[in-house]
Amino acid sequence: MTQPTPPVPDRLGPLLARLRQARGRSQQRLAAELCAASGVPTLSRHEVSRWERQRRVPGGFWLGWLAVVLAVPVELLAEAAGRSRPTHRATTPTHRATPTHQATPTRRATPTRPAPPRAAGTTAPPRAAGGTSAPAPAGGTTARGPRRRGGRLSHGVPRAADAAPPTATR
The DSSP code sequence of 74-126 is: HHHHHHHHHHHSPPP-SSS-SS-SS-SS----SSPPPPPPPPPP--TT--PPP
Taking the C-alpha atoms of residue 144 and residue 125, their distance in angstroms, rounded to an integer, is: 11
Residue 166 lies in a domain: no
Give the rounded percent of residues in the chain with a pLDDT score beyond 70: 46
pTM over 0.75, yes/no: no
E-strand ranges in the chain read 141-142, 145-146, 148-149, 152-153
Please tell me the total count of domains within the chain.
Answer: 1
Average pLDDT over residues 129-156: 56
Residue 73 lies in a domain: yes
Residue 147 lies in a domain: no
Residue 122 lies in a domain: no
Q: pLDDT (tens digit, 9 = 90+) per residue, 56-91?
A: 999 999 999 999 999 999 999 999 999 888 776 555
Q: pLDDT (tens digit, 9 = 90+) per residue, 8-45?
A: 568 999 999 999 999 999 999 999 999 999 999 999 99
Taking the C-alpha atoms of residue 79 and residue 66, their distance in angstroms, rounded to an integer, is: 13
**148 or 87, greater pLDDT:** 87
Domain that holds residue 24: 12-84
Taking the C-alpha atoms of residue 56 and residue 51, their distance in angstroms, rounded to an integer, is: 5
Of the ranges 14-23, 50-59, 144-153, which one carries the lowest mean pLDDT score?
144-153
Q: What is the CATH number of the domain that holds 73?
A: 1.10.260.40
> Residue 84: what residue type?
S
Residue 92 lies in a domain: no
Residue 167 lies in a domain: no
pLDDT at 5 exceeding the cut of 80:
no
